[in-house]
Structure 1
């Protein structure tokens, strides 16, 4: 059956194939500044629901964002844009399930974090649960 994630997320993920695309998207974005410091990074994460806990999937962009409200907004916008692009492509569910090592049912929410701030909900969450079985999206079983 399916496992509903709470505070425990799968511990092992395969290296996502789309990370190079994400890095490319970040580099062509005008929402960053150049710097030699890698402390000013932006991290996008997929979490289960609205609770900030262990990310199901995360990617840190080692390009410098400002460590202030402007940087938070730029990082959040990048994460939302990437999530929307994955959804629009029709491959978002497949890409996410491909990298989860166990069967799960999740409520996909997008979070962002800039510099050493805490994760913040991006305002983007998908209304339908996503069920993954054998690394593929499946219809969720009604309970």
Structure 2
């Protein structure tokens, strides 16, 4: 499986997992961890189509895992680690989930971000290696990947045809 599909799967699971946690948090308010010192807020995970989005642009996908954290460097590290771990853990179904949500996508290379409290989105140092293409909610092979695969096949074919057989005595 390509690393893009793996990463996108991870990001989708993060978002879906986070939504489940939010619903559980609403039902069980007393079971949430309480941060008593300093400002507190939520950790959010999101996906943008670029590792350097404009601050006015909303993520393509976002979800809050329901984690109450401090609004400081420690909280940022906790949130980043959570979003990164969830993205890594959800490799199998990401492209399908994304295509169901986005309907159509062309050469999308999703980048993972995290957000702490009311601060801006921060790049989590994760971007898909390969692009995602969707056609009417279905995952399809992107033209750039097809060209790359065709180029690799040509190199392999050329290599095979230039090998001269050894004579048997």
Query: Could you state the TM-score of these two structures normalised by the residue count of structure 1?
Result: 0.70
TM-align CA RMSD: 3.0
| Alpha carbons 1:35, 1:63 under 8 Å: kept | no
> Whole-Å Cα distance in 1 between the matches of residues 13 and 82 of structure 2?
19
Pairing 1:57–2:56 present: no
Distance 1:70 1:124, change over 3 A: same
| Alpha carbons 2:103, 2:138 under 8 Å: kept | no
Unmatched runs of 5 consecutive residues or more in structure 1: 1-15
| Alpha carbons 1:39, 1:116 under 8 Å: kept | no
Pairing 1:123–2:119 present: no
Unmatched runs of 5 consecutive residues or more in structure 2: 1-11, 25-31, 148-169
1:105 matched residue in structure 2: 107
Q: How many residues align?
A: 121
Distance 1:131 1:80, change over 3 A: same
Larger Rg: 2
Distance 1:17 1:134, change over 3 A: farther
> Whole-Å Cα distance in 1 between the matches of residues 58 and 121 of structure 2?
10
Query: Could you state the TM-score of these two structures normalised by the residue count of structure 2?
Result: 0.61
